[in-house]
Amino acid sequence: MTTPLLLILVAAVAFLATHVVYEWLAKRLLIVSGAEYLVLGVLLGPQVTGLFTPAAIEAFQPIIILGIGWMGVAVAMPLRLQRLVRIPAVPYRTALVESLLTFGVVTAGATSAIAYAYQVPWREVLAAGGILGAIAVASTPAGLDVAFGERGKDAARRAPVLLQIEVANHLNAVVSVVVFGIILAVMHDTVPLMVRALTTTEWVVVTLGIGVVGGTVFHLFLGGEQSADRLVISLGGAIILASGAAAYLELSPTLALFAMGVVLVNSMRNPGAVQDVLRAGERPLYYALLLLAGASWRPDSNIGWWLVIMHYVVLRTLTKLWGTGIVTWVNGAQQSVGLDWGRALIGQGRLTIALAFDYSRRGLPYGDVIFTCAAVSVLFTEFFAARFVRAAAAPLIAPLESISATTGAVLDTVTETVTHALPSFLQPSEDGSADRPADVSEPKPAPPGDR
Amino acid sequence: MRRLVILLILFAVMRGVFVLGGPTSGIPTLMLFGFLILAAYSVGELVKPFGIPKIVGYLIAGILFGPPGLAYVSKPALTELTPVSNLAIALIAFLAGAELQLSEIRERGAAILKMVSSELVLTFAAIAGTMVLLRSQLPILANAPAAEVVAFSLLFASVAVVHSPAVTMALLTETRANGPVARYTLGVVLVMDVAVVLLFSLVLAVARSLAPPAGGAEGVQAGAVLWEIGGSVLVGAVLGACIALYLRFISRELFIFGLLMALLGSEVARILHVETLLTLLVAGFVAENAGGGRGEDLRHAMERAAAPVFVVFFALAGAKIDPRAVLPLLPIVIPVVLVRMAGIYSGMRLGGKWAGLPTQVTGNAWLGLVSQAGVAIGLATVVADVYPSRGAPLRALLMATIAINETIGPIMFRLGLKRAGELTPSEANAGQSVGSPPTAGAH
């Protein structure tokens, strides 16, 4: 099979998966679909059927880089300052400490595990451990979306636990992307370019600079004309340029595009149109990324390899579960969000795969084991992410819903009483304008049961 | 001013990235793709106020940033970006097919066939005759036997008569013109595309018998030509039917779906050795007319998806133009270009009269037929492949002719549409805004 045809088939599978399987599974079975494409990729790859040759995977590099960058800009999209400032400080504090705790614990654990498994000094594997730590922080927001959907967005405003989960998802992603980008800058080659080699700080600035320039070019390009065609050209051009530039310089496309996303979402009067375009491409690109990531997976027979993977999955899960509990207790927020909302953060998804794949495709040390850790974690957790969220949030939401129902009933009764007791008070004024709710004097439609 | 700032920023970014990347880095294909989208589009907008179509701006951007200019897009990068050009051709063909309504074919089909036949005969004969007359100017033909002169002249003419569906579609999309001149021009370009495939195959067979290629390459087999045409219709119809079914029963995410179908059609055509343009043209036509009224939605979605791809396609076409190679050939190229224009003009007037069309239509529609692009370049490459030593100078001559037609063609087409009154007022006034005093209240 030719490489382009393969690419088209990958895209077609991703496309159909997005719009047929994903929605059906999500609605009917409360399952977050996606991880199975990783398995499909493994089956199509050189390890099993060989349909995807290594050369074909190499030819897909631009798509892979674009997909990785796209995840970065998607992470930034909810970070509109105007909206963020309305959220109280406690959820941020809790989520940030939880993120840093997870990063610290998993980095330490993974560094020890890799050093032990490969019999190397821990200093040599600190960067790889840090990468695993950064990846471990990420948690998928798909669980919340599937479990509560649009209702979740409304409910998040009144249910503290959903708000906490939402904030934690976003902050986990931010910490994960930023730390990952910084570690890549640390690991960057120190070859002198002109006079001297750039420092880590300078590489980080370059990464962020690419994103900021991308965002600026987008705005200049779009100008005052907000037509859909122009939006697609300017957004597509800016994303492709920034992803390509970051990848060319061996920096993190996710961090560069994250910076660009932050610029976009906070500088546009109405970022809804940009978000729509991004959303349309996000899931198909994620599925394509999963398939290609699966196809490029390379196992190792070393027993220590599996030790690192098991260690990562267990340590991450425990940190997310207990870490959130401890942090919540320290912040005194257990009354509103409970102590085990960390269950909602166990699921890992698109960002995890994007970061791990970005690391492994560069041929950096321990890339295969790091990617396998991420892949195993996504395989075991993303599928049930919605159920994890539901399990964590449902006990705290149920009382709220009953309170809401009671409040509604009380309000209905009061309104009815007022309507009957004070009819003249609610009469329309002489000029015809009504200073009362429009439906009060109109006959109410019969409830469905009475028809 | 804003566009200049964008270009300056992009220029600085590219310089900076290339310096930071160091000399050992590979080809930044993805970055170049994004750069070309933004830079070429900006150049297109920069030239628009001068009354020049945007696609000429994209071509200029290609020349500016390509190997002959600043060389941001190197020759290996051009090869890496070839799939973008293939996708653009597929999208162009699909959109062109989707533009054709069955009722329109019934209404205009006979007139288009008459114009195509007269234009093809006149232009082909005029160019072939010019080549015979100018043979002393060409080193490969100066001392060649008569049979060889005839063979190469016919081959040259069969490529030189080709029009550009890409330029026609891109300009119609850009200007949103939809009057009789626009419709007849599109019809002639599309039918001519099919006719040229047949003509070129026939001429190549004749040329091979008159001037056998070195190594005695095989002749053109009638079966292969038949399959190329018939197979294209068949494959295109099947693809179009599948798309129509999707439109009728699912009809969602047409933006991505359209891109996928264009890619699929182009790749299947390549694997089955059928004509890509014709395959996608038929697919677009079937999808539009059998899609249960949803073809228009798909067309609009594909136009949106095609916009950045078209920009890069024309920029890449511009990057392949080497002005230094064109200049020495101008003494031969200019007469050929002028004779070609005269042939197109006479053919269209004659065909239009035969079909009973008003002179307002034919007098302007011929201006839309000057452009040449992808198909002509492809055929020129085939000539060079069949005749490796003698075909190379012929290819260079063809490329120089195409380069000039590619540059002036869109300007002439826009002029034709403007003269026919088929441009929107804002489009028609684009060239008048430069240098005019600002209107009251405009700051």
**Maximum mean pLDDT: which of A189-198, A253-262, B260-269:** A253-262
Residue A27 structure tokens:
């609605």
Task: Flag whether pLDDT at A212 surpasses 90.
Answer: yes
pLDDT for the residue numbered A150 = 57
**pLDDT over 90 for what percent of chain A?**
31
Residue B284 structure tokens:
């677009």
Round to whole Å and give the CA distance between B238 and B261.
12
Q: Is B34 an interface residue toward A (CB < 8 Å)?
A: yes
Best interface-test mutation with B: which of A6, A205, A249, A250 has the largest number of B CBs within 10 A? A249
Round to whole Å and give the CA distance between A11 and A284.
7
Mean pLDDT of B44-61: 83
pLDDT for the residue numbered A404 = 53
- Report pLDDT digits (tens) over A342-386: 888 998 988 999 999 999 988 888 988 999 999 999 888 887 888
pLDDT for the residue numbered A167 = 92
- Of A18, A221, A248, which has the smallest distance from its Cβ to B28's Cβ? A248
CA distance A349 to chain B (A): 23
- In one letter, which amino acid is B101? Q
Q: Quick one: residue A192, left, alpha or beta (phi over 0 = left, psi -120 to 50 = alpha)?
A: beta
CA distance B163 to chain A (A): 27
Contact B371, B413 (CB under 8 A): yes
pLDDT band at B440 (very low <50, low <70, confident <90, very high): very low
pLDDT band at B374 (very low <50, low <70, confident <90, very high): low
Residue B311 with chain A: CB contacts under 8 Å: 233
Contact A188, A207 (CB under 8 A): no
pLDDT band at A173 (very low <50, low <70, confident <90, very high): very high
B33, A244: Cβ pair inside 8 Å? yes
- Of B26, B271, B304, which has the smallest distance from its Cβ to A5's Cβ? B271
CA distance A262 to chain B (A): 20
B30, A193: Cβ pair inside 8 Å? no
Comparison of pLDDT for A180 and A27, the residue scoring more: A180
Query: Any long-range contacts for B361-364 (C-beta under 8 Å, 24+ apart)?
Result: B361/B180, B361/B181, B361/B184, B361/B420, B362/B115, B362/B184, B364/B181, B364/B416, B364/B417, B364/B419, B364/B420
**Maximum mean pLDDT: which of A171-175, B23-27, B158-162, B268-272:** A171-175
Task: Flag whether pLDDT at A62 surpasses 80.
Answer: yes
pLDDT for the residue numbered A416 = 66
A198, B28: Cβ pair inside 8 Å? no
Q: Considering only A128-137, A416-425, B44-53, B182-191, which range has the smallest mean pLDDT?
A: A416-425
pLDDT band at B88 (very low <50, low <70, confident <90, very high): confident
Mean pLDDT of B44-62: 83
- Report pLDDT digits (tens) over A12-34: 666 666 566 666 666 676 667 67
Mean pLDDT of B121-127: 92
**Maximum mean pLDDT: which of A243-247, B87-91, B245-249, B309-313:** A243-247
| Distance (Å) of CA A133 to CA A73, A80, B300, B348 | 21, 26, 46, 71
pLDDT for the residue numbered A426 = 46
Mean pLDDT of B382-391: 75
A8, B38: Cβ pair inside 8 Å? no
Contact A11, A284 (CB under 8 A): yes
Residue B443 with chain A: CB contacts under 8 Å: none
CA distance A89 to chain B (A): 38
Q: Is B308 an interface residue toward A (CB < 8 Å)?
A: yes
Best interface-test mutation with A: which of B20, B43, B252 has the largest number of A CBs within 10 A? B20
pLDDT for the residue numbered A151 = 54
**pLDDT over 70 for what percent of chain A?**
76
Question: To which residue do tokens 């996608």 refer?
Answer: B280
Comparison of pLDDT for A280 and B182, the residue scoring more: B182
pLDDT band at B261 (very low <50, low <70, confident <90, very high): confident
Around Cβ A212, how many Cβ atoms within 10 Å? 17
Residue B37 with chain A: CB contacts under 8 Å: 233, 236-237, 240-241
pLDDT for the residue numbered A415 = 61
Task: Flag whether pLDDT at A257 surpasses 90.
Answer: yes
Q: Is B29 an interface residue toward A (CB < 8 Å)?
A: yes
CA distance A448 to chain B (A): 33
Statement: the pTM of the whole predicted model exceeds 0.80 = no
Residue A239 with chain B: CB contacts under 8 Å: 34
pLDDT for the residue numbered B172 = 83
Mean pLDDT of A134-160: 76
List the Cα angle B198/B204/B206 in 5-degree steps.
Answer: 105
Residue B100 structure tokens:
């054709």
pLDDT for the residue numbered A193 = 63
- Report pLDDT digits (tens) over B270-326: 888 887 878 888 898 898 888 777 777 888 878 777 778 888 888 888 887 777 777
- Report pLDDT digits (tens) over B418-428: 888 888 777 66
Residue B17 with chain A: CB contacts under 8 Å: 245, 248-249
Length of chain A as a residue count? 451
pLDDT band at A3 (very low <50, low <70, confident <90, very high): low
CA distance A59 to chain B (A): 10
Contact A295, A250 (CB under 8 A): no
pLDDT for the residue numbered A100 = 94
Residue A233 exposure: Cα atoms within 13 Å on the Cβ side: 26
pLDDT for the residue numbered A7 = 65
pLDDT for the residue numbered A49 = 77
Nearest CA in chain B to A251: B21
pLDDT for the residue numbered B220 = 52
Q: Is B25 an interface residue toward A (CB < 8 Å)?
A: yes
Count of CB pairs separated by less than 8 Å, A with B: 131
ipTM: 0.78
pLDDT band at B191 (very low <50, low <70, confident <90, very high): confident
Nearest CA in chain A to B80: A59
Q: Which residues contact A218 (CB under 8 A, 6 or more apart)?
A: A234, A235, A237, A238, A260, A264
For chain B, the average pLDDT equals: 81
pLDDT for the residue numbered A429 = 44
| Distance (Å) of CA A299 to CA A112, A294, A310, B159 | 21, 11, 14, 54
Q: Considering only A11-25, A165-179, A309-323, A389-403, which range has the smallest mean pLDDT?
A: A11-25
Question: To which residue do tokens 């079937």 refer?
Answer: B286
Task: Flag whether pLDDT at B393 surpasses 50.
Answer: yes
Mean pLDDT of A295-316: 87
- Of B6, B9, B83, which has the smallest distance from its Cβ to A4's Cβ? B83
pLDDT band at A156 (very low <50, low <70, confident <90, very high): low
Q: Which residues contact B175 (CB under 8 A, 6 or more apart)?
A: B53, B414, B417, B422, B423, B424, B427
pLDDT for the residue numbered B438 = 37
HEC states along chain A?
A: CCHHHHHHHHHHHHHHHHHHHHHHHHHHHCCCCCHHHHHHHHHHCCCCCCCCCHHHHHHCHHHHHHHHHHHHHHHHCCCCHHHHCCCCHHHHHHHHHHHHHHHHHHHHHHHHHHHHHHCCCHHHHHHHHHHHHHHHHCCCCHHHHHHHHHHHHHHHHHCHHHHHHHHHHHHHHHHHHHHHHHHHHHCCCCCCCCCCCCCHHHHHHHHHHHHHHHHHHHHHHHCCCCCHHHHHHHHHHHHHHHHHHHHHCCCCHHHHHHHHHHHHHHHCCCCHHHHHHHHHHHHHHHHHHHHHHHHCCCCCCCHHHHHHHHHHHHHHHHHHHHHHHHHHHHHCCHHHHCCCHHHHHCCCCHHHHHHHHHHHCCCCCCHHHHHHHHHHHHHHHCCCHHHHHHHHHHHHHHHHHHHHHHHHHHHHHHHHHHHHHCCHHHCCCCCCCCCCCCCCCCCCCCCHHHC
Contact B242, B286 (CB under 8 A): no
- In one letter, which amino acid is A358? D
CA distance A368 to chain B (A): 23
Length of chain B as a residue count? 443
Round to whole Å and give the CA distance between A74 and A116.
37
**Maximum mean pLDDT: which of A69-83, A433-447, B365-379:** A69-83
A19, B21: Cβ pair inside 8 Å? no
pLDDT band at A439 (very low <50, low <70, confident <90, very high): very low
Nearest CA in chain B to A240: B34
Round to whole Å and give the CA distance between A238 and A231.
10
**pLDDT over 70 for what percent of chain B?**
92
CA distance A51 to chain B (A): 17
Contact A386, A147 (CB under 8 A): yes
Task: Flag whether pLDDT at A451 surpasses 50.
Answer: no
Round to whole Å and give the CA distance between B410 and B60.
13
Q: Is B366 an interface residue toward A (CB < 8 Å)?
A: no
Q: Considering only A178-192, B91-105, B124-138, which range has the smallest mean pLDDT?
A: B91-105
A62, B29: Cβ pair inside 8 Å? yes
A238, B42: Cβ pair inside 8 Å? no
pLDDT for the residue numbered B295 = 78
